[in-house]
Structure 1
Amino acid sequence: LLLAAQVQHEAVSDEPSDVFMYLEYCFVSIFTFEQVVKVFAFRSRLYRDIDRYWNAFDMLIVLCSWADIVIASFTARLQGTNATVAKLLKLPRLARVLRMCRTARFFGSLRVMVLMIMRSFLSLFWVIVVIFGILFIFALLLTQSVTEYFRSASTLLRDASAQDELIDCFGSLFQTIYSLSQAMTGGRNWGEYAQILAPVGWDAVAIVVMFIFFTAFSVVNIVTGVFVDGAIEMSKSDRMLMLEKRMHQTSEIAGQLLELLI
């Protein structure tokens, strides 16, 4: 709530508020004190137990928060003189958003989702590679069709705007990849692209239709299934979540026994 109020105040007001600044110092000091206590209490075990990744994440947040405080005074001086450096110095402010992720450890389902996202970066990389490969293959076919159409056509399109739109969307390989990515993600209706490609021929329209069917019903569903299966396996192997389930089952059994005794 404090983060939301601070961002809203910075968006609607040009004058910074000292209240938010002092509250920022207060919370950062509390987080720092928490980390110092953990270091003295657990020492080397802090980064060797089951919560070592969360502990390292907390330490990263504290360091970024202090970096934000230290360079906050320099950003105002750099504004108007060196905007690029000023933007780079604002990067540690991402720690304000990262603090919200600290609450994930206290909720089982949310923790599984956050861990799934963090551990799926490698799988996500290969998914991006596969999707880009599919985009590249279909873009090659479409770009070749459009290029051959313009070279072999004896007359230009009657509608100059339609010709310009065809060139803008499929005039080069990179433009075709961008257009197909829009059609796949819903950035633009694929039917519009089919109408643009209609003068080229039925083969170009068929390529777009095949691309949509292949990506929508095959690739996307397979990728979703892989991530869902990974989340299920992770939830089964999550030790903290298993302990919470056992404690919940134990409390239910204890309640039933009390009802029988009464």
Structure 2
Amino acid sequence: IYAILFTLEMAIRFIAAGCRNYLIGPEWYWNWLDLLVVIPAWVELITDFMEHGENVSSGASNFRILRVLRITRMLHVIRSVRLIRVIHAFRELILSILDTTRQLGWAMILLLLIIYSFSILFTDAVSNEQLTDPQRLDLSNAQQYFGGVFIACETLFRACLSGFDWVDAADALKPVGEVWVQLFHIYVAFCSFAVLNVITGVFVNSAIKTREKDHETLVLHVQKFKDLVGKIWNKLDTSGDGQLTITEFEQMFKDPDMQAFFEAIEVNAVDASTLFDSLDADGDHLVSYEEFCQRCTQLHGSARAVDLFALTQQNGKVWDEVLSLKTQQQESTECLKFISQILMQHMGDPMLCVQVS
């Protein structure tokens, strides 16, 4: 059944894509994987059919071939990875796990270094105590948990991951000294509250960044946002003419769904008039569906660094223009004063001189 279904699927995709695109197209690796799955499946079916017509000895010789061919069934598991692209939540989970493998390696190295350092301390303390008095019998438990570096590493690893009740290991250090018991407590607290929590935070942060950088996730979020904007627009446009007036907007501004929508896109509107002016891109006192979608997308979220930088650049240009106008105005004033002085000299009117001055 699997062979027939996979063959039909492969044939349909081969006819739809064509020979060239199927074998060397953008998804050539999946198509070649289909071939590696389907061909051994048919070989196995043919071998099974031929086996029924032969004797037991030949069937026994073919058993080795069947055993090798059945290994190819594991490729069905790899082939099913293609479905991950359809199941979005499962796909995000797999990508997050794969992306955190690099952080996992460094986290394990850090944890092993900490465990190795503490294991040397505890092993050295127990060994020195044993060498001081070889006849002591109360060090048997300490030898059990810290008799060597490897044993101590194993004990400390289990202790920080709750692999066993670490109280027994701590009590085993009492004959060595109370200082070592407290040091063991410090190790457990440090690993449990600091190291493991930091590692967990790194994993979570890495998973979040992976989700944010994933192209298909971004496309899905944009599509969901557009669908939400479309639903709100249908509720706002009560007249159904595709244009939103200030009257319609003010009537729906206090609606709970509207307030929830603007809170979701992080738009803090003081009043309906101010928000309507922000949505009206061309200033014609009417908001179309395209303007509403465009403005909601632009107003969505908090200001980014690029937005602040662009605003700073625009303010700088405006300030330069203001200074230029100020300079031109001063030059014009000086020119007018000069012209006035010339006129006063030619007219010789003292009253005009007084008025101009």
Whether the 8 Å CA contact 1:28–1:66 is kept in 2: the answer is no
Q: Please name the residue that 2:234 is paired with.
A: 258
What's the CA shift for 1:175? 1.0
CA distance in 2, matches of 1:193, 1:69: 59
1:197 paired residue number:
173
Which of 160, 174, 188 is residue 164 of structure 2 equivalent to?
188
The structure that has the greater radius of gyration is: 2
Unaligned runs of 5+ in 2: 48-59, 62-66, 241-357
Q: Distance in 1 between matches of 2:234 and 2:222?
A: 18
1:153 aligns with 2:129: no
Please give the alpha-carbon distance, in whole angstroms, between the structure 1 residues aligned to 2:167 and 2:69.
44
Deviation track 1:167-199 (CA, whole Å, cap 9, x = no partner) reads 332211111111111111111122121012222
Note if contact 1:194-1:205 (Cα within 8 Å) is conserved in structure 2.
yes
* 1:143 alignment counterpart: 123
Aligned match of 2:213: 237
How many aligned positions are there? 220
Q: List per-residue Cα deviations over 1:46-92 (Å, max 9, x = no partner).
A: 25xxxxxxx85786687479779989x9xxx79xxxxxxx9x99976
CA displacement 1:15-60 (0-9 Å, x = unmatched): xxxxxxxx5545654676588676844654425xxxxxxx857866
One-letter identity of the residue aligned with 2:224? H
Check conservation: 2:119, 2:149, Cα contact below 8 A: yes
- In structure 2, what is the equivalent of residue 207 of structure 1? 183
Distance 1:154-1:132 versus aligned 2 partners, 3 A rule: closer
TM value normalised by structure 2: 0.50
Query: In 2, Cα distance between the equivalents of 1:256 and 1:230?
Result: 34
Q: Provide the C-alpha distance between the structure 2 equivalents of 1:124 and 1:174, rounded to a whole number of angstroms.
A: 22
Instruction: Provide the secondary structure at the position in 2 that maps to 1:46.
Output: coil
In structure 2, C-alpha distance between the alignment counterparts of 1:212 and 1:34, rounded to whole Å: 60
1:118 aligned to 84, 98, 106, which one? Answer: 98
TM (normalized to structure 1)? 0.66
Q: Which ranges of structure 1 fall in alignment gaps of 5 or more residues?
A: 1-22, 48-54, 79-85
Q: Which has the higher contact order (CA 8 A, sep 6+)?
A: 1
Write out per-residue CA displacement over residues 79-135 of structure 1, whole angstroms, 9 at most, x where no aligned residue: xxxxxxx9x999766556556654432243432231122223222221121111111
Q: Relative to structure 1, is the Cα distance of residues 121 and 151 closer, same or farther in structure 2, using a 3 angstrom cutoff?
A: same
Describe the shift of the 1:141–1:64 C-alpha distance in structure 2 as closer, same or farther (beyond 3 A): farther
| Letter of the structure 2 residue corresponding to residue 256 of structure 1 | I
State the distance in 2 between where 1:68 and 1:109 align: 31
CA change 1:202–1:113 in 2 (3 A) is same
Matched, 1:129 2:109: yes
* Distance 1:69-1:42 versus aligned 2 partners, 3 A rule: closer
Mark the CA change 1:100 to 1:170 in structure 2 (over 3 Å): closer, same or farther.
Answer: farther
Choose which of 95, 105, 108 in structure 1 pairs with 2:88.
108
Structural RMSD (CA): 3.9
- Specify whether residues 26 and 229 from structure 1 end up closer, same or farther in structure 2 by C-alpha distance, changes over 3 A only: same
Matched with 2:355 is none
Query: Which residue type is aligned with residue 120 of structure 1?
Result: T
